[in-house]
Amino acid sequence: MCDFCVSGKIETYEQLVSGSAEKKEVFKLFDRHIIHFDNVDLCVIDDIKNPTIRDVITKLYPEGWKDIFNDNLYELKTICDYISSEAKETQIFPHFEDVFKVFDMCSPEDIKVIIIGQDPYPRLGKLGLPLGTGLSFSVRVGENIPRSLSNIYNELDRSIDSFVKPKHGNLENWVNQGVFLLNKSLTVENGKVNSHKRVWNNFTSNIIKYLSAFDEDIIYVLWGKDAQEMNKTYTKGVIF
């Protein structure tokens, strides 16, 4: 059962973080937003006595994403339930604290371009860490540049005279400039491409629908067959 509820009732934050080892492991899916309180004004939770998990998710959201995360609590519960089951049998990538990294780094009002990929790299890198970092196509400095990212660099080099190919695959600077690097699936099983497509499809589609309504001037870059499926109904901006 998902950490959102046990025996049919919503659990409190205190019950969750003091619970069994299994519950704590699943709870790490929302680690950045609940335990570490990164990028959050703590006073929003100080006024709530004995907050429930719903309180925590709706108030410790990535900055600027309150409305869309609020509207998708059911989807987040479904995702949590699925991943908690899968994590008992296999490795899930990226690290749970990186699942919502692109949301942590970039608020809706800062987005100029959205690049949509398929899913995180489904393997460990040479550094012994998950190759995926929570940003589509990006890898840590020190990792070999994956073929998909190398192809992107080659195309940019061919199309833009001033482009200089980086010697690493860390794309955090792109995000800092308003490029929202979103995968259609935010997690993946070790060695199984597209293994979490079904569980994330509604959530990420709702994100694109929300952003399309939020700003019609956003430019969309859809790379890969699965990413291009989002072109059918959701995006209003310029599409490549």
Domains of the chain by range and CATH? 1-90 (no CATH), 93-240 (3.40.470.10)
Q: Which of 30-44, 64-78, 166-180 has the highest mean pLDDT?
A: 166-180
* 135 contacts: CB under 8 Å, gap ≥ 6: 101, 102, 105, 171, 172, 175, 181
Q: Is pLDDT above 50 for 17?
A: no
Q: What is the pLDDT of residue 227?
A: 67
Q: How far apart are CA 49 and CA 237, in angstroms?
A: 43
First to last CA, the chain: 41
Is residue 215 part of the annotated active site? The answer reads no
Q: Distance (Å, rounded) from C-alpha 102 to C-alpha 95? A: 13
pTM above 0.85, yes or no: no
> And the tokens for 201?
């499809």
pLDDT of residue 196 exceeding 50: yes
Q: At CA 133, angle to CA 130 and CA 135, rounded to 5?
A: 145
Between CA 234 and CA 207 the distance in angstroms is 9
User: pLDDT confidence of 7, banded at 50, 70, 90?
Assistant: very low
| Spatial separation of the C-alpha atoms in residues 106 and 159, rounded to whole Å | 26
CA–CA separation, 205 and 186 (whole Å): 12
Closest CA to 193 of 108, 116, 120: 120
Query: For the segment 115-161, what is each residue's pLDDT rounded down to a tens digit?
Result: 999 999 999 999 999 999 999 999 999 999 999 999 999 989 998 99
pLDDT at 16 over 70: no
Catalytic hit among 55, 119, 157, 226: 119
Residue 14, pLDDT score:
42
Task: Give pLDDT, residue 79.
Answer: 84
